[in-house]
Structure 1
Amino acid sequence: MALYEYGSLAYRRAGPEAAGIDVDIVAEVARRTGCRFETFVDSRVRTWTDLAHGSLDMTVSAIEMDERKGFARFVIYMTGRNRLLVRSDLPDRVATLDAFAERPELRLAVVKGFKHGPQWDPWIAMLHQQGRVDEYADARQAARLVALGRDAAFLSEPVVWKRILTDSKLQGRITVIDAFPGDNYAAGFALSRARVREDDARRIQEAISAMRSDGTLLKIFSAYLSRGEALSSLP
């Protein structure tokens, strides 16, 4: 199972061991199903390439999209939406997407291989065509380049951004633009159709459903987020 470092979802503690919401969910599903998961941290681009080619079993926090359903089954355990986080120390404050788009000197930092939502992705593609998008290996690097002034903004969400903003020293230095309030996504495990048997997928789905019903999912999210953020992250 491929993890990826993304704020409170998964991060490295002292040493190579990972911690976070996804890590705790995987551990609880393993306990309930008896499955043994071999987890490792990988890039999002390689993860999706390997899933599509049938050389990886599973990944986490995967956004469900029609183009991915051909090679993966989805077991949803979270929901959310992205916002644009813009440096608040720009010469002229940016408070809307239009204001950002109208200033050609402003660049956007994104994580290579990420999908952001059906309304966000066309807007990002427009900036791509203008040569105003820089792609980075992970969200921490994207935020760091925004903090250093290379880029003016990046996309993130409450479930992850507290840790990212703290690590990059951007806390208190950004303006949050919630441009598409209805652009919510559903995410969870993506299970390879080629490699994961249907009965195993069903057991994982049953475990997640039980965790939602008995409050375990809320407890896991609440260990890393405020109660309001945790509640809003549940499907």
Structure 2
Amino acid sequence: MNKLIAVFFVIMTPVFSQAQDEIRTLVSGCEKRYVLAFQDDAPGFFVDEKNRKNGTAYELLLEIVRRLGCKSTEQITPYLTLKENFLRNKSDIYALSTPDKELDKVAEFVEMYSFPRSLVVSKKASTDKDTVHTLLKNPKILFGNVAGGFLFMQLSEREELEAKHRLKEFPGPTGVFNALSEGRIQATFSSPAFTYYFLTREKKMNQFRAIPDPEGGLYHSGFYLARKRLTEAERGKIREIIREIRADGTLLRIASKYVNPEDLIYYKPTGSF
């Protein structure tokens, strides 16, 4: 009988040990499951020809959760639904976004990088002498915008274009740039990532002009962290990780897949240029 008991313990010791390891991992690991919100549109999120998930927002959000050591649930929706969900405290982290007064009421904005906007306009509807100012005043130029958003457009510009019926809205960036390519609109404001994904990558840039707008200032892109769903300690940890992602070159590595080489300067570690 004693031999039988001894054999039992010899056999079961690895099982007990494995169970203890699993309990230890569960206790010491992160038990929180973060709800990640991002728009179901490129270049923030898209599925490539090999059915793999890609995109700037997608990769950066997953990198944050990986460094937190936690699990996550992906909330991938159109922009207006995404924003409504966030305002109703149904998400933890939203990326990528520029500052938004409505979201500021319920969440903390954490900047990751800044960039200048450009005005992308059809060559057929413009000349080399055109500027952002002349095109905004040109009654023949229809602009495209994301419904409920600004797409790097200033409020005064949007109001003026709407008043003159020169603004068409679409559910997401893909709709805006499809309309631009098809001639249903003639211009839209853009970021380095948008210009690369929709025009350079598709070999359509020769049909358009990308007019720099040095007077338009810098646009700040980053993450919104929900105040009700995340504690100050959790938000502090995420802020630290966001700084690390830029400082250690991870942002630059990810951005190199999504912007033109000349625009990578905006994604380099702070102080490296």
TM-score (norm 1): 0.87
> Residues 28, 112 of structure 1: CA spacing in aligned structure 2 closer, same or farther, 3 A cutoff?
same
- Tell whether 2:233 aligns with 1:233: no
- Tell whether 2:51 aligns with 1:19: no
Instruction: Name the residue aligned to 1:223.
Output: 257
Q: Which has the higher helix share?
A: 2
Instruction: Name the residue aligned to 2:174.
Output: 140
Verify the 8 A CA contact 1:86 1:94 in the aligned structure 2. Answer: no
Instruction: Name the residue aligned to 2:142.
Output: 107
Instruction: Name the residue aligned to 1:44.
Output: 79
> Residues 147, 94 of structure 1: CA spacing in aligned structure 2 closer, same or farther, 3 A cutoff?
farther
Verify the 8 A CA contact 1:147 1:169 in the aligned structure 2. Answer: no
* Gap regions ≥5 residues in structure 2: 1-35
Calculate the aligned-residue CA RMSD, in Å.
2.5
Between 222-231 and 19-28, the greater mean CA deviation after superposition: 222-231
Q: State how far apart, in whole Å, the 2-side matches of 1:25 and 1:69 are.
A: 21
Q: State how far apart, in whole Å, the 2-side matches of 1:63 and 1:81 are.
A: 12
More RCO (CA 8 Å, sep 6+): 1
Q: State how far apart, in whole Å, the 1-side matches of 2:217 and 2:133 are.
A: 17
Letter in 2 for 1:103: N
Q: State how far apart, in whole Å, the 1-side matches of 2:40 and 2:128 are.
A: 30
Q: Any idea what SS the aligned residue of 1:177 has?
A: strand
Q: State how far apart, in whole Å, the 2-side matches of 1:101 and 1:187 are.
A: 24
Offset at residue 226 of structure 1 (A): 4.3
Q: After TM superposition, where is structure 1 displaced by more than 4 Å over at least 4 residues in a row?
A: 91-94, 166-169
Offset at residue 170 of structure 1 (A): 3.2
> Residues 58, 180 of structure 1: CA spacing in aligned structure 2 closer, same or farther, 3 A cutoff?
same
- Tell whether 2:209 aligns with 1:188: no
Could you say which structure has the larger radius of gyration? 2
Offset at residue 101 of structure 1 (A): 3.5
> Residues 80, 16 of structure 1: CA spacing in aligned structure 2 closer, same or farther, 3 A cutoff?
same
* Gap regions ≥5 residues in structure 1: none
Verify the 8 A CA contact 2:41 2:78 in the aligned structure 1. Answer: no
> Residues 71, 217 of structure 1: CA spacing in aligned structure 2 closer, same or farther, 3 A cutoff?
same
> Residues 228, 103 of structure 1: CA spacing in aligned structure 2 closer, same or farther, 3 A cutoff?
closer
Number of equivalences: 234
Between 212-221 and 90-99, the greater mean CA deviation after superposition: 90-99
Verify the 8 A CA contact 1:82 1:116 in the aligned structure 2. Answer: no
Q: Any idea what SS the aligned residue of 2:205 has?
A: coil
What is the percentage of aligned positions where both structures have the same residue?
A: 21
TM-score (norm 2): 0.76
Offset at residue 17 of structure 1 (A): 4.5
Q: State how far apart, in whole Å, the 1-side matches of 2:110 and 2:134 are.
A: 38
Q: State how far apart, in whole Å, the 1-side matches of 2:112 and 2:235 are.
A: 14
Offset at residue 153 of structure 1 (A): 0.7
